[in-house]
A and B are shown apart, each in its own frame.
Chain A
Amino acid sequence: MDILVQQLINGLVLGSVYALVALGYTMVYGILELINFAHGEVTMFGAMIALAVISALMGAGVDLPGVVIALLGLLTAIPACMLLGYGIERLAYRPLRNAPRLAPLITAIGVSIVLQNIAMLIWGRQYISFPPILPQGHHNLLGARITDVQILILITSVVLMIALTLLVKRTQLGRAMRATAQSPQLAGLMGVNANHVISLTFIIGSGIAAVAGVLVSAYYGLAHYYMGFLLGLKAFSAAVLGGIGNLAGAMLGGLLLGVIESLGAGYIGDITGGFLGSNYQDVFAFFVLIVVLIVRPSGLLGQASHDRA
């Protein structure tokens, strides 16, 4: 029993990180129908920038509690990533707004490669360690262990998701975003500046990505210029699983994917009588994804879309 609880905790923490990154994919997709491949790299930049600030502060011998130092790192990373997200949209995507569907996908891949290599030039090829400045304690929960950082990740994710939902559902900006997603032309007629809305979408998504990046590197204790790629891929899968373009879907998809991966790795051996092991963890995750999409072709919470091919 405690094993199952532990695997659920593992899965939920992992899943909430996926969910945070997936939000960025889904927001952009909802409005532009574009897979922003570079989103994972924005997450990586968030982690790297925060780390640079943290190590600079610690190197200067600033006498502040660890949490404050981490917070200062985060507060630098968020606006920096917002700027980055804004820049990516302006330079690489906006000129291609009316281009054939796959053209912005290629620039997205290009941006992703460029960002990785810029990060490599700035921070080197090395893995960088994230100093243990956050509380390192752990607690017992139904026979399983949960650490302070895990609790922090869960709380932050929930707060951000609620805030984002309120933003989209309750505010003027949210209404403009929903209108633009429905039809940019019509929204324009109603006085919505589509360019502003799209820019803001990128800015908000990138800000959340920065938070996710910092949480991930604090959790695992390291950062690397390549870390965004796999994370981005998983998050993108999560967004599709939940129904891409749908905020609640991204959250559900992220959490589900995390739990599926955990349970898959933990129990796949038992399920298959030892024939398959945790080496098939990702097969298991993709298999569930494929089955879900075959049964519900537009994702768990996605609306049956008209032709988007």
Chain B
Amino acid sequence: MPTTFRLSLLTALIGATLLTGCSKSGTDDNIVKIGSASPLTGPQAHLGKDNENGARLAVDEINAAGLTLDGKKVQIDLIAEDDQADPKAATTVAQKLVDEGIVGVIGHLNSGATIPASKIYFDAGIPQISPSATAIAYTASGFNTAYRVMTNDKQQGSALAEYAISQLGAKRIAIVDDRTAYGQGLADEFERAAKAAGADVVAREYTTDKSTDFMAILTSIKSHDPQVVFFAGMDPQAAPMIKQMKQLGVNAQFLGGDGMQTPKFIDLAGADAEGAIASNPGLPLAKMPGGEAFKQKFNARFGEIQNYSPYAYDAVYVMVEAMKRAKSSDPVKYLAELPKTDYQGVTGHIRFDSKGDLTGGAVTLYQVKAGQWQPLQTINSK
């Protein structure tokens, strides 16, 4: 090998070392580091930033109120990292957070990133609470460090199916999913529950999480004349989809999951959003003690809530409450306290089952009325 090559390799390494060298901050006994991992670049960056903001609001509140663990005053430091919603980047970021000495992590945003990262946290013995990952596989790995403050696909899918059949009286249902881990998981659980309840799935169509054109699949759906069109995916697809349904004259109730129960959906779909129904786990913020206050604080600091920031906010509190009970921020000690969580958060009453899933997580259905999401009813998931 020529010398130039070795030299360049060396320079690159030294360069990287210098760049990283200055990042090492002195470890302070009174600093407790909590990680936040979510996509901060790429198409889902707005949701990722929202999660980080939710966690940051909680951390700043706790710091302002003063946190004392075992007689020692401690300060929480939130370290936010960008996992690009990419499984590979997620493991790198997870290891990086572990290296930086975090004692717990709030994240990641999507299941695809959460699952591979959960192994790294488990190996390091660091508790992880995801505010938004819904795939069943996340807590099914058997890792005692994996928790979530969000209902899983099965809980939400069956609640939605129950609502579609018993409340909307749907016999003929069309299902569309975006072929992401989230969309497919939710759609499959919805389909299973709907079929079990005796409904007829007349069309199963697919799109992607980057599409904006659904005319072809909606035309096909229209020919099957369903009463309900269920979409499992996110708001950037849900909004143009409902618009195109109106354009094509598809006369069916539009129903979706938490991915579209956002103000952005109404903003993007405009008047066409009217009447759409979507679910979100937990109880309506307005009905929760502290919910309205959270909303105001969040709006004042970061603007509108995108979607999962209240869950990230609750996740931080759940974690810190466990530390308080354990009188320690040592992951080994407070991890033992996490299963005993019984916390009244702004998203609902948080308790975990043996896997780390929410127990009896409530699912609330909302409908767009006069340009606002209005709560319809709350279903307790099985």
Contacts and interface: CB of A to CB of B under 8 A. Distances in A.
Contacts of B212: 216, 220, 222, 227
B165 interface: no
A256 B327 CA distance: 67
Given A277-B204, A278-B205, A266 B216 contact: yes
Given A6-B248, A220-B212, A220-B240, A226 B219 contact: no
B270 A132 contact: yes
A145 B216 contact: no
Contacts of A222: 212, 236, 239-240, 268
Given A7-B216, A14-B215, A277 B205 contact: yes
B325 interface: no
Q: Of residues A3, A14, A126, which shows the largest number of chain B Cβ atoms within 10 Å of its Cβ?
A: A126
Contacts of A125: 45-46, 49
Nearest to B47: A125
Given A145-B247, A221-B268, A11 B239 contact: no
A83 to B, nearest CB: 26
A220 B42 contact: no
Nearest to B43: A226
Which range contains the number of B residues in contact with the other chain?
Answer: 35 or more
Contacts of B41: 117, 120
A56 B24 CA distance: 45
A224 B43 contact: yes
A266 B220 contact: yes
Contacts of B206: 277-279, 281
B269 interface: yes
Contacts of A221: 239-240, 243, 268-270
Nearest to B216: A265
A94 interface: no
Nearest to A138: B247
Q: Is the interface of B mostly helix, strand, loop or mixed?
A: helix
Contacts, number: 99
A281 B204 CA distance: 13
A218 to B, nearest CB: 11
A6 B219 contact: yes
A216 to B, nearest CB: 8
A230 interface: yes
A266 B219 contact: yes
B358 to A, nearest CB: 28
Nearest to A259: B216
Contacts of B235: 127
Interface in A217-263: 220-222, 224, 226-227, 230, 261-263
Interface in B134-148: none
Contact of B271 (A132, A227, A265, A266): A132
B45 A120 contact: yes
A135 interface: no
Nearest to B49: A125
Contact of B223 (A3, A127, A132): A3
A182 to B, nearest CB: 37
Nearest to A126: B46
Contacts of B223: 3
Interface in B213-228: 213, 215-217, 219-220, 222-223
B267 interface: yes
Contacts of A107: none
Given A127-B264, A129-B270, A222-B239, A7 B210 contact: no
B66 interface: no
B268 to A, nearest CB: 5
A145 B248 contact: yes
Contacts of A282: 208
B236 A10 contact: no
A174 interface: no
B219 A3 contact: yes
Interface string A127-160: 1010110000010000001010000000000000
A188 interface: no
A124 interface: yes
Interface string A264-304: 11100100000001110110000000000000000000000
Top 3 closest pairs, chain A to chain B, by CB: A265-B216, A279-B206, A10-B215
29 contacts: A6-B248, A7-B216, A10-B215, A120-B41, A125-B49, A126-B264, A127-B235, A127-B236, A129-B268, A129-B270, A131-B270, A145-B247, A147-B247, A216-B212, A221-B239, A221-B243, A221-B268, A222-B236, A222-B239, A222-B268, A224-B43, A265-B217, A266-B219, A277-B204, A277-B205, A278-B206, A278-B216, A278-B220, A281-B206
Given A125-B45, A222-B239, A224-B43, 8 more contacts: A10-B213, A10-B215, A124-B46, A127-B46, A129-B270, A220-B212, A265-B220, A266-B219
Interface of B: 41-43, 45-46, 49, 179, 204-208, 210-213, 215-217, 219-220, 222-223, 235-236, 239-240, 243, 247-249, 264, 267-271
